Chain A
Amino acid sequence: DAKTTQPNSMESNEEEPVHLPCNHSTISGTDYIHWYRQLPSQGPEYVIHGLTSNVNNRMASLAIAEDRKSSTLILHRATLRDAAVYYCILRALFGNEKLTFGTGTRLTIIP
């Protein structure tokens, strides 16, 4: 499984945008980039995924570098509820849907 690298922790002020980076230099052409987050005492929750183009949904935006070796999850206006561990995961186009989690980025929101 291709590996991703994320900062261990980040802090952001409430109501400001947050940019969570992820490096995946060994990504293959058929790997999707998925983001999940895990709030305290809960199971992981899907956030967004993409292949090549930038993606937007109601939760976040995903900006993918042109060479696909890095990506950034963007929370446009952080709230206290966004405090969680964020995981960046590469997933093959076709496969058994196994998710390979790293240690993720622990995001702290400062009121």
Chain B
Amino acid sequence: ETGVTQSPTHLIKTRGQQVTLRCSSQSGHNTVSWYQQALGQGPQFIFQYYREEENGRGNFPPRFSGLQFPNYSSELNVNALELDDSALYLCASSRDVVLNTEAFFGQGTRLTVV
């Protein structure tokens, strides 16, 4: 059973650019959630995808968008990058959106916006 993998591990972008982060969910998991973690803070929920549909969104602007593919892998896209977008972006997968099951996190992508 493979775990949650994220790519790339580190990324440096310029303000105003666009970025795509990728996540492969754990085998058998159909739900993927994305979180943003600023330095010294707990992770903040961005949005969740369940069977390729968005299923809940946190307090993030529309320039944060996502996608889930038929194999349940997922992408997080951020347009018009701002300096405050610098953070660790975490992907978590789980077996089912309804049941109170545990979430499995990847190691994250460290995004630096300069």
Chain B: minimal CB distance from A58 (Å): 14
Chain B: minimal CB distance from A34 (Å): 8
- A45 an interface residue at 8 Å Cβ cutoff? yes
Cβ–Cβ contact B104 & A46, under 8 A = yes
1/0 per residue, CB under 8 A from B, across A73-97: the answer is: 0000000000001010001011011
Q: How many A-B residue pairs have CB under 8 A?
A: 63
Cβ–Cβ contact B97 & A44, under 8 A = no
Interface of chain A, main secondary structure: loop
Chain B positions within 8 Å of A100 at CB level: 45
Complex-state Cα separation, A22 to B108, whole angstroms? 26
Q: CB within 8 Å of A: which of B82-114?
A: 90, 92, 94, 97-98, 100-108
**Size category, B interface:** 20 to 34
Cβ–Cβ contact B58 & A104, under 8 A = no
Cβ–Cβ contact A87 & B42, under 8 A = yes
Cβ–Cβ contact A94 & B43, under 8 A = no
1/0 per residue, CB under 8 A from A, across B17-57: the answer is: 00000000000000101010000111111001010000110
Chain A: minimal CB distance from B64 (Å): 15
Number of interface residues of A (CB under 8 A): 23
Cβ–Cβ contact B41 & A103, under 8 A = yes
Cβ–Cβ contact B105 & A94, under 8 A = no
Complex-state Cα separation, A49 to B103, whole angstroms? 12
Chain B positions within 8 Å of A87 at CB level: 42
Chain A positions within 8 Å of B92 at CB level: 43-44, 99
- A102 an interface residue at 8 Å Cβ cutoff? yes
Chain B positions within 8 Å of A103 at CB level: 40-42
Complex-state Cα separation, A98 to B98, whole angstroms? 11
Chain A residue at minimum C-beta to C-beta distance from B95: A97
Cβ–Cβ contact A97 & B94, under 8 A = yes
Chain B residue at minimum C-beta to C-beta distance from A85: B42
Q: Contact residues of B with A, CB < 8 Å?
A: 4, 31, 33, 35, 40-45, 48, 50, 55-56, 58, 90, 92, 94, 97-98, 100-108
